[in-house]
Amino acid sequence: MGNLSQEEAIEGLKKLLIHNDKDEQLSKELETKIEKLISELLGTTPHDCHPVRRILGGFQSFKTNKFDVYPELFSELAEHQTPKFLVFACCDSRVSPSNILDFQPGEAFMFRNIANLVPPFNQLRYSGVGAAIEYAVVHLNVKFTFIFRCGGIDRLMELPENGSTENDFIDDWVQIGLPAKAKVKAEFGHLPLEEQKRECEKEAVNLSLTNLQTYPYVRERMARKALALRGGYYDFVEGCFKLWEVKTIITTPIRS
Amino acid sequence: MSTNSPHFLSIQRLETLPFSVSPMAVPSPPFSLSKHSPSNPPSFLASNPSLDPSKAPVLRPRNAFGSEANLGRVEQTRLRLWNNLKTNSDLRLQASRELPGLTKELESDKSERMERIEHGTDLFDEMKQRFLSFKKHKYMQNLELYEKLAKDQAPKFMVIACADSRVCPSSILGFQPGEAFVVRNVANMVPPYENGPSETNAGLEFAVNSLKVENILVIGHSRCGGIRALMSMHDDVETSSLIGSWVSVGMNARVRTKAATKLLNFDQQCKHCEKESVNCSLVNLLTYPWVEEKVRNGELAIHGGYYDFVDCAFEKWTLDYKESNPIGKSGKVAVKDRAFWF
């Protein structure tokens, strides 16, 4: 190894990435170590303070570890994308679904916004979210919609009751979550505020799942089972993950 | 709601669940990741057959893992999944322990149940395995970092990128947890201040005023469907689609593109517009008073980026604020520190 140039060492490590076909758990560990070695050889490290060096290093690492390793995949993705998921996630820097759930390029059409809220269908407002839903559901034909929640609903819970706002845009946006806040206050108002916030985070996912169903193209595809809805909650304090689904129920008829 | 579809007749019984119930659909109790993991986790990339049982599996393993030489691992995983589905008698056993009425209901629709297995169970399993892998290989290996992040975040970047499945900033620029506050929308657009509240400028307000990020990076990309929709819009027809309403934010970019690229074909014009739209967003960023103030004081830098996933190249430039006055009137943006990585 000492006689190899840096380029030869990197090429050798890349070949290991391609041919590594042991069982899933071991391969993932090995893959992580190999990628780390390649990054060190390239002289790139995470959390580099200089912004331009940081993103240059990140791009080089991606090109070396992913793009060059799977050329056929990326050439197919260059022609078109067929993601199975539409994912709604928070902007929070700590909760990228690509990091936590290992979404690869081409898997998930991912919309990220503050507090991860999905407003109800409205042709005059909220066209940003609506555009994402319309594009993913109608044009990309995604099969699963996944709302991925994390902590950070603080501002919603702290909104003044008198309707005054400190922030022009944040407060207007998080008000979408007011029904969730009302439900939490009604059921868990006796709990400390911190615990109410945790309940509200989960309730906000359910509210967003409900709001999703107000979009006509979402309803239509759910009705013919072409689209399924899932909610998820990542607690980065405890390091745990919860996942649940939306089900429709047809009860047996009541006969007289 | 479709009144012809029997699936949406009124629900005569509402289940009591830990979370909210809806007249339309009911969220099931949360599935917490437990220790009872299946021994052979199916790979998501190989395991998603179409919801229509008559169609062949949609996702092709060859695409998921690159060259055909890599089929070995994926094929084994896919075969494991199908074997699990065929021999899985657990569901039937569980059903038989339920009330007789429910058992009858379940047994009467086996194909529907198999459909649920194919799309529900394997999805849950896949997500579970991925999360556990993240927890084992990343979270536990960097516990100190994650404990610190649990208290607070102090990202240096705010990134505005497209929701396109191929352009996740965490993937292509390697952002790790805590590094970048990421807003993703259709065609990575930033609406101007005068358009009023939206989810994008709510994120902008939080990142700049609360998190005090030092850099904003707007990343465009090749073959953007949103930009294509913008370039395809008819000049004098009002759009009724939400996509049309949203991408109209980039109308200035379209106008400038059409003026500058009359001799180019439509694909080339779209490529030009993808970059022009990034510049349009950079100009729109400066319409926010609290953004402009920080840029003027040197506390905040605004960058544009363009990811070309056809050739795997990344172009980046920085807004040169001093040269940019007056912003908006000429629409021209002065840039500096242009770099091209490939």
d(CA B154, CA B213) in angstroms, rounded, equals 8
Indicate the residue type of B296.
R
CA–CA distances in Å: residue B199 to residues A26, A91, A105:
41, 11, 24
pLDDT for res A41: 63
Which residue on chain A is closest to B308 by alpha carbon?
A78
CA angle B183, B25, A221 (to 5 degrees): 70
d(CA A23, CA A20) in angstroms, rounded, equals 9
What pTM was computed for the model?
Answer: 0.74
Q: Is the pLDDT of residue A182 over 70?
A: yes
Give pLDDT tens digits for B285-294: 999 999 999 9
Contact with chain A for residue B308, Cβ under 8 A: no
CA–CA distances in Å: residue B244 to residues B187, B228, B236:
11, 11, 13
Contact with chain B for residue A203, Cβ under 8 A: yes
Contact with chain A for residue B175, Cβ under 8 A: yes
pLDDT for res B125: 80
Which residue on chain A is closest to B196 by alpha carbon?
A169
Contact with chain B for residue A206, Cβ under 8 A: yes
- Mutate: best of A169, A212, A234, partner B, most B CBs <10 A: A169
- Cβ proximity of A66 and B171 under 8 Å: yes
Please report how many Cα atoms fall inside a 13 Å half-sphere around the Cα of residue B118, on the Cβ side.
23
CA B335 to chain centre: 29
Question: What does the CA dihedral B161, A103, B199, A77 come to, rounded to 10 degrees?
Answer: 40
Q: Is the pLDDT of residue B68 over 50?
A: no
Answer whether B204 sits within 8 Å of A169, measured CB to CB.
Answer: yes
Contact with chain A for residue B146, Cβ under 8 A: yes
When mean pLDDT is compared across A7-21, A137-151, A175-189, A207-221, the lowest value belongs to: A7-21
Number of residue pairs across A and B with CB atoms under 8 Å?
367
Q: Which pair of tokens denotes residue A198?
A: 């945790």
Answer whether B66 sits within 8 Å of A72, measured CB to CB.
Answer: yes
Give B257's pLDDT tier (boundaries 50, 70, 90).
very high
Q: What is the DSSP letter of A120?
A: P
CA B336 to chain centre: 30
Answer whether A103 sits within 8 Å of B168, measured CB to CB.
Answer: yes
- Cβ proximity of A231 and A246 under 8 Å: yes
When mean pLDDT is compared across A15-24, B60-69, B128-137, the lowest value belongs to: B60-69
pLDDT for res B8: 30
Q: Which pair of tokens denotes residue B210?
A: 């609360």
Which residue on chain A is closest to B190 by alpha carbon?
A128
- Establish whether this prediction's ipTM goes over 0.85: no
When mean pLDDT is compared across A117-121, B8-12, B28-32, B334-338, the lowest value belongs to: B8-12
The 10 Å Cβ neighbour count of residue B16 is 6
Cβ under 8 Å to B: A residues 146-165 = none
The nearest CA of chain B is from the CA of A218 a distance in Å of 10
The nearest CA of chain B is from the CA of A108 a distance in Å of 5
Answer whether A223 sits within 8 Å of B5, measured CB to CB.
Answer: yes
Cβ under 8 Å to B: A residues 220-249 = 220, 222-226, 228-233, 236-237, 239-249
- Cβ proximity of A83 and B144 under 8 Å: no
Q: Is the pLDDT of residue B11 over 60?
A: no
User: What is the rounded average pLDDT of the residues B99-112?
Assistant: 44
Give pLDDT tens digits for A3-41: 667 667 767 776 676 655 444 444 656 766 776 676 566
Buried-state track B298-323, b at ≥16 Cβ within 10 A, e below 16: eebbbbbbbbbbeebebbbbbbebee
pLDDT for res A78: 92
Give B268's pLDDT tier (boundaries 50, 70, 90).
very high
CA A157 to chain centre: 23
CA–CA distances in Å: residue B303 to residues A218, B308, B334, B336:
36, 17, 11, 9
CA angle A238, A243, A244 (to 5 degrees): 140
Which long-range contacts (C-beta less than 8 Å, at least 24 apart) are formed by B317-322?
B319/B282, B319/B286, B319/B295, B321/B286, B321/B295, B321/B296
Q: Is the pLDDT of residue A210 over 60?
A: yes
Answer whether B165 sits within 8 Å of A105, measured CB to CB.
Answer: yes
Contact with chain B for residue A101, Cβ under 8 A: yes
